Amino acid sequence: MPSLRSRLRSSLRARAIATFGRRALAAVVYGVIALPLALVGFFVTLVGLAFGGALSVTTLGLWLLAATVRGALALGALQRGLARRLLGLEIEQPGGSGGEAGGTGVGPTAILSWRRGILLDRTGWRAVGCALLTPFTAVFAYAAVVIGYVYGVLFTLHPLLKRWNYNTVHSTDGSTHPVSLEFFGYQLDSWPRWLIPFTAGLLLLAVAPLLLRYALGPHRALLTVLLGPDAATRRIRTLEETRARAVDDAAQTLRRIERDLHDGTQARLVALAMHLTLIRELVTAGAEPDRVLTVVDTAQGNATQAITDLRHLVKGIHPPVLDEGLHAALTTLAADSALPVTLTTDIGTRPTPAVETIAYFCAAELLANATKHARATAAAVDVTARDGVLRLRVTDDGQGGALIGAGSGLTGLLARVRTVDGTLTCDSPPGGPTVVTVELPHT
């Protein structure tokens, strides 16, 4: 019985937090202020567009239109801030001029350039569209707050507020008198009947967070689409990021190659040259054969190690086994892995060398992570190529908990994959298993 009571208490506490917790109350505040803010923005924008359009043949009309667009941008920035603080909705900056076109000058030319940049900026007109549409989506959130929270509280507290929860009835003689709440013709003014509004109020409060969440869905979608960057801007940003990462990756690769050559191969070749010089001097001086052979063995060892270092260096740049195809390269990789690896491939047309290289290095990095960090005992690599997409899936039975962007090597793999417009997803719940899926364009 105590365990049942404790579970019931925990359930009630969780429900109370869900209904009146910090996040729930923040959503309620947003639902209350979103509609008035949207209505003010709607009427100001509509009036500005109407007068600006009517006077557009004059300079005043153009300035009024520019001011209206600039006001819509300011309203959009305010809505983004409120959505971020109260709803936890992160909307990226849309980009565009935002009223900053025309440089930093203050002369007539700069002012005209500012107006022209405002009127020609797609971001500004998308903000105008958002200002005209938000009242139609914010009204759902406002209604959810009123129905779920306001009426929920009033009905729940009806036994205490019964003196105020009444309807005014007009008599035939013109007088008025209050009548308590009614339910199918029965007045809810006595003890057993109070349970009806009390129970209805509790049910409304219980479903209020869910109701508000669904009511905010259209509003959140509208803000994200119109106040965030459009598809072209997102594409440009992605290309800029991937280009920067590709340049950084190339620079790091060159520095690594230079360091490996300088610290490893170059040192061994210098030692080989010194030993060859010593051998020449020994032979010229008529030294004993055993002494000469000892120096020859040392020189031979340096030469062999230099060749091995060069092979490892070349393998780090482009594994020679990839020349035989991705299936052969992954088979060799699975055989050399410290874990038992099950490999499954279904590749029809051979991918491009760039895609093969990225897929190979992704598989190598993921298997290395499974061995060193995940404490896995087995792994599986599945590669398929269908519908123009090469899909690489690496699964391990390790401890899980891997996250992209948490300081792991997955961030670097994501940057490498995005250079060819690929994607990388990670499903790694605590306790495992970890499933990392890489999708690359395959043409």
DSSP 157-217: THHHHTTTSEEEEE-TTS-EEEEE-EETTEE--SHHHHHHHHHHHHHHHHHHHHHHHHHHH
Look at residue 405 in the predicted model and tell me its pLDDT.
65
Q: In 3D, which of 380, 354, 371, 353 has the Cα closest to residue 409? A: 371
Burial class for 381, CB neighbours closer than 10 Å (0-12, 13-18, 19+):
buried
Whose tokens are 């008035």? That residue is 36
> CA 133, CA 137: separation in Å to the nearest integer?
7
DSSP state for residue 146 in the 8-state scheme? I
Let me know how long the chain is: 443
Q: Please report the beta strands in 245-403, taking only residues with DSSP state E, as ranges in sequence order.
A: 341-346, 379-386, 389-396
Residue recorded with tokens 């105020």: 164
Identity of the residue numbered 260: D
147: its two tokens: 């129905």
Distances in Å between the Cα of 412 and the Cα atoms of 247, 309, 434, 442 are 13, 25, 18, 21
Number of Cβ atoms within 10 Å of the Cβ of 421? 13
Give the pLDDT of the chain (443 residues) as one tens digit per residue. 446 666 656 655 665 566 667 788 888 889 889 999 999 999 999 999 888 888 878 888 888 888 888 988 999 889 998 988 988 888 877 765 444 444 444 556 777 777 777 778 888 888 899 999 999 999 999 999 988 888 888 777 766 655 555 555 445 555 554 445 555 445 556 566 566 677 777 888 888 888 888 999 999 999 988 888 776 666 666 666 666 666 666 666 667 666 766 666 667 777 777 777 877 777 777 777 777 777 777 777 777 777 776 666 665 556 666 778 888 888 888 888 888 888 888 887 888 888 888 888 888 888 888 888 777 888 888 988 887 888 899 888 888 777 776 555 677 788 778 777 788 888 888 877 888 888 888 76
Q: Own/partner pairs for 419-426, CB < 8 Å, 24+ apart? A: 419/242, 419/245, 419/246, 419/358, 420/354, 420/355, 420/358, 422/358, 424/362, 426/402
CA distance 169 to 175: 8
pLDDT of residue 61: 83
Annotate 289-301 with b (16+ C-beta within 10 A) or e (fewer).
eeebeebbebbee
pTM of the model: 0.55
Place of tokens 């929270």: 149
The strand pairing partners of 426, in sequence order, are 436
Instruction: Calculate the dihedral angle through the C-alpha atoms of 385, 391, 394, 395, rounding to the nearest 10 degrees.
Output: -90
Cβ(61)–Cβ(53) below 8 Å: yes
Within 13 Å of residue 327, how many CA atoms lie on the same side as its CB?
9
CB 390 within 8 A of CB 442: yes
Closest CA to 366 of 333, 344, 407, 388: 333
Instruction: Give pLDDT, residue 42.
Output: 93
Q: Which residue has the tokens 């290309």?
A: 239
pLDDT at 390: 87
Taking a C-beta distance cutoff of 8 angstroms, is the pair 194, 161 a contact? Answer: no
**CA angle (431 as vertex; 425, 436 as ends), nearest 5:** 20
What's the pLDDT at 303? Answer: 76
Cα angle 41, 47, 48 (rounded to 5 degrees) comes to: 85
